[in-house]
Amino acid sequence: MKQRRIVVTGIGVVTPIGTGCERFWTNLLAGQSGIGMVQSFDTSSYSVHRGAEVHDFEVENYVSNLDAAHLGRASQFAIAAARLALADANVEIASLDLERAGVSMGTTSGEPREVERFDDLFVSKKLERVGPEFLALYPSHVIAAHIARELRFAGVNIMIPTACAAGNYAIAHAFDVLRAGRADLMLAGGSDSFSRITYTGFAQLGAIAPELCQPFDRYRKGMIPGEGAGVIVLEPMTSAVRRGARIYAEISGYGLSCDAHHMTAAHPNGQGAVRAMEQALEQSSIAPEDVSYISAHGTGTLTNDRLETLAVKRLFRDAAYRIPISSIKSMLGHTMGAASAIEAAVCALACFHDRIPPTINSKESDPECDLDYVPNSARDHPVRVAMNNAYAFGGNNASLVLRKFESLN
């Protein structure tokens, strides 16, 4: 039986370098950084003080059916990205069979600011118990549920909290739902908000860079926590073509694996990353040498970048040196559960425009990271096949393959 072909027809993003597909893509190609001093809370007691926060975000522009004041920040971002994606896809909600319109989202922390809010109230003795006003806002599944309630989507609804690989997992699930014929349209992506909880955790691990995120650079000193949301519209190719939709790219396949090695550290030989990439290529019927671009996980930490480079070399062999690789985390910081969703959108845009965003802050090559990381400047490059890699705590690995949409064959 011939599988349904699934395509990307809409992109919605809320990021530290811009909200909306066009503004985001322009700033990304220009190498604009969204990293600055943390403004949402006092970092004077920390040894690091920089983050990638979303500024000038007005939730009232995107939320009309729910009470925005009673939504967590990650849910606000997610709803905004979903509405932007539908508008970009030129989809009218009234035209949909809402029972066959679904949502698949990923996250790392859910709504951590609600935990912080409760803690602050409890410590100040303004609140003595956990009540429904807290319980209704905190659990991670509410992000996907809030999108569905805002848009009246009554189909498949799921939240996949596989940390920093969650966006790819969510897109993979939506891909499977559509190929199985369980939905006509899916919104898929990820969302996370900046929080003291996340920032403190990475600071305690010594993983946050003091100034810059410099993926793959010899003098890289760590990641920069960020926030945001990325949502893409996925639908069967036949329906997209029938309604005359702009098709950014086609989802070809994905691969998932678990290192089963360590809670925070990747496998020392990159085995899980290799398995995920192998599965994604096999499902897509694509040879390693046919990949045109790799969107790296590229956090800027010493271990991740070295092992990610090793994994790419193990799978792609000589071709690894010919394939452009870039990390947009150098500009956006690490947007956690939104990261690979935003990066999947970038892969779709790269396929559509034949342009690759840079890895900024590249100053000196690391002998152990010796591939082509598209340093500092965007590049015109034919992108027929893009691979999006994401690796997370717990050994969660997810690789997604997108290809340029070219024909109905």
Report the SS3 class of residue 214.
coil
Residue type, 399: S
Return the structure tokens found at 29: 């190609």
CA distance 98 to 230: 21
Q: How far apart are CA 208 and CA 214, in angstroms?
A: 11
Name residue 244's amino acid. Answer: G
Q: For 143-218, where are the E strands, in sequence order?
A: 157-160, 185-192
Q: DSSP string of 237-258?
A: HHHHHHTT----EEEEEEEEEE
Cβ-count burial 138-175 (b if 16+ within 10 Å, e if not): bebebbbbbbbbbbebebbbbbbbbbbbbbbbbbbbbb
Beta-carbon contacts of 358 under 8 Å, excluding residues fewer than 6 positions away, are 29, 31, 326, 330, 374, 375, 376, 377, 378, 379
- Residue 290 has what DSSP assignment? G
How far is residue 60's CA from residue 68's CA, in Å, rounded to a whole number?
A: 7
Looking at the annotation, which residues are catalytic?
A: 164, 297, 334
> What SS3 class is residue 335?
coil
Sign of CA dihedral 106, 396, 114, 77: negative
**What Cα–Cα distance (Å) separates residue 251 from each residue in 232, 305, 396?**
11, 26, 20
User: Position 47: which residue type?
Assistant: S
Burial status of residue 40 (CB atoms within 10 A of its CB: 0-12, 13-18, 19 or more): middle
**Residue 151 in 3-state DSSP?**
helix
Total residue length of the chain: 409
* DSSP-assigned letter for residue 94: G
CA distance linking residue 93 with residue 198, whole number of Å: 35
Question: β-strands 293-295, 385-392: how paired?
Answer: parallel
CB-based contact 144:157 (threshold 8 Å): yes
Query: Residue 115 CB: number of other CB atoms within 10 A?
Result: 17
